[in-house]
Amino acid sequence: EKEGLEERNLCLLQRLPRRGPLAFDRFVAVLREHRMYQAVGLLTGEAPQEPPAIPVAPTASHPIRAFGGGDARVVVDSTPNSHGTVGEASNAELRVTPAKDWKLGDDVYSMVHSPRGMCLIINNCEFGGFAERREGSEHDVRRMEALFKAFHFNCIVRSNLRARDMKALLSWAAQREQQQGADCLVVILMSHGKRDFIDGCDGEQLHLVDDIYALFNNDNCPALQGKPKLFFVQACRGGKDDSGTKAIVYDTPDAGPIPAGAPGSSSSDHARMATWSDMYIAYATIPGYKALKNRVIGSWFLSAVYTVFCENACTMHLEKLMHRVQDKVLNRSSHDGDRQTPSMELQGWRKKLYFNPGLFVERRPEEAAAK
């Protein structure tokens, strides 16, 4: 009888990856609902942890999508990746809660058109002999694309680019004439990295400030002057593990220095503006440390962005959303006790940004055709 039960359990686990992209997430959610925390820990690699006294269930405002029929390329595996880390235990696909009212004003960036602009997603996961494969990154890609499509962005997804091809694509995005009519730009970078560099799939590196952010500053990308430019970087920034500390530390976002080369103001620059402004840069981790992920679930950082933005972008502006993301990641712990601290840099960030999901003003036919 015991052998028969084990056989049925094994059969169930073998079938899960073939039951659609959300099957594993839903299965873990059911286990949690029935308080089977040991099983959750074995499947996800997360240390078993009791949920809050009052569990939060999906509501009509945040319904979970039905199962899809696609072939899920997911392997149920509790083995940590080579970083010795594990990811989000349960992150079922959510719908973005629509906003009920516009958030407008002189102190608010304009986010009213459909499309809002471009969301460029670059995911490098295959590195040949240069570095290990980034298992689970496909889940981050799927969620980020779904999220920003729901925010009315045109999403462009590219995978496994050499460093020079990454720069060429980003340069193309910066020089597009259509940026003139855009409300905003979003760039999401996923790869290996180290401190201020990010890797191409060929093992070559780009400097984040000089090779990427500089392409979109007010000098090199005048079409986006005064408009918000968001960068999300899911990459390690060093090789250190954060095993936590006994002391209580309150983390605050790091508004880093303006990159070298940004000019200072002077009384003679009446008709000029700062070279660097309106950039919000969100890093998965702080310099010197690893960014944690799991091959089944995806990264801690982008999973938190997805969940927080889906549920709260209807009422909260970007900075408040990212504070929630930071808290969510800071409060997580891997099976091995590792932790992670996201980092934010604001370069001349002057206003509040509300995504206004579900609300938009249609562009004129000629503008829509140009997009």
**φ/ψ bin of 72: left (φ > 0), alpha (ψ from -120 to 50), beta (otherwise):** beta
Answer for the pair 88, 305: CB distance below 8 angstroms, yes or no: no
CA dist., res. 134 & res. 137, Å (int): 6
Answer for the pair 155, 192: CB distance below 8 angstroms, yes or no: no
Name the nearest CA neighbour of 44 among 58, 28, 22. 28
* Whole-angstrom Cα Rg for the chain: 21
Active-site residue list = 192, 236
Whole-angstrom CA distances from 207 to 22, 167, 197, 200, 268 are 36, 10, 5, 11, 32
Residue linked to tokens 């390690």: 236
Name the nearest CA neighbour of 230 among 99, 368, 116, 94. 116
Element spanning 154, H or E: strand 154-159
Element spanning 369, H or E: helix 365-370
Q: At residue 120, what are phi and psi to the nearest 5 degrees?
A: -100, 120
Residues 6+ positions from 301 with CB-CB distance below 8 Å: 234, 284, 285, 291, 325, 329, 340, 342
